[in-house]
Amino acid sequence: MEYKYTSHSVTETLELAQNFESEKFPNMVICLNGELGSGKTMFVKGIAQALGIEESITSPTFTIVKEYDGELPLYHFDVYRLDGKTDGIGMEEYFTKGGVVAIEWADTIKDVLPEERLEIKFKVVDEDKRVLIITPYGTKYEELCEAVL
């Protein structure tokens, strides 16, 4: 099943992310896809806010992963520069560390993603408006979408 959500502002994108995190669970994996500037990092900022993380959230483009401490740990990946090669970074270990994993450009590493996950594709409509196509994989993520959307 696929869900469609239209965000009309940065505030609405942040609120949606916070709503998802209000239903958080350990080992949650959120895969974010979309063009540059479509709202992926903004969505992660909303996740961080809901987890009580006060640090500034920026895309970890050059470091691949940033770790933040909150109610649950947040592991924020940007795999844009990996060209689909995740060897040597231990990404799979993060899926079972008990935190929330947010992966920007996740569609480039589909072969290492866990079977159960939440995928969100951001489509730019105009300067403020985004359409998010949300696809849950697995019962926990289907229940998550039913609770939030």
Average pLDDT over all residues of the chain: 94
Q: How far apart are the first and last CA of the chain?
A: 13
Question: pLDDT class for 62, splitting at 50, 70, 90?
Answer: confident
pLDDT-derived band at 57, boundaries 50, 70, 90: very high
pTM for the model stands at 0.94
Q: Quick check: 86 pLDDT over 90?
A: no
Alpha helices in the chain (DSSP H): 10-22, 40-50, 91-94, 139-148
Domains and CATH numbers, the chain: 3-148 (3.40.50.300)
